Amino acid sequence: MTPPCGFIAGTAGADSIAPYHGKDDGMTIPVGRGWALTLLMAAACVPAPLLARPLANGASGPSTFIVSCDCATSAKRARVQRRIERAGGRILYSYATIGGFAVTARRPRDGAALRRRLAHIPGIQSVQPDSVIRLARPGAPQ
């Protein structure tokens, strides 16, 4: 059955989307346009205090980071994950498509130290603070 939406989940990665051309190869799963709208609506309903938590008392900076790594194989990925955990990080989410993780410090006050430790782990290419991105209203000055 051809979905009316025009998109299917691609085979390049579990979280990728590819255009649907009406061919059924038996390995694709139809995904409707409604998922994007549902996600957008759900995000709009989350109270702002949950999205932007203030720093804990005494915290010197962010304690959650987006880490990209050389994770081309499952063995490399597992090795980097173990090293992140040994460095005091807790993996919140794995980004298979971009080769990385969302990592947080086990204790919020340890964010700066964790960032330094993560940057020295073999296989990690970058460590960037995670942040909340707010969309501007249409027509708002930029």
Identity of the residue numbered 75: A
Q: Would you give the distance in Å from CA 48 to the centre of its chain?
A: 19
At 82 the pLDDT is 96
Which residue spans of the chain are classified as CATH 3.30.70?
A: 64-129
Question: Above 50 in pLDDT, residue 48?
Answer: no
Per-residue CA distances from 51 to 43, 46, 126 (Å): 9, 7, 24
Lowest mean pLDDT among 10-14, 32-36, 98-102, 122-126: 10-14
Q: How far apart are CA 60 and CA 115, in angstroms?
A: 12
For the chain, give the mean pLDDT: 71
The pLDDT score that the predictor gives to residue 98 is 84
CATH number of this structure's domain 64-129 = 3.30.70
Ordered alpha helix ranges (H), 7-59: 34-45, 48-51
For residue 109, the 8-state DSSP code is: G
- Output b/e per residue, 27-58; b: 16+ Cβ within 10 A: eeeebeeeeeeeeeeeeeeeeeeeeeeeeeee
pLDDT higher than 90, residue 118: yes
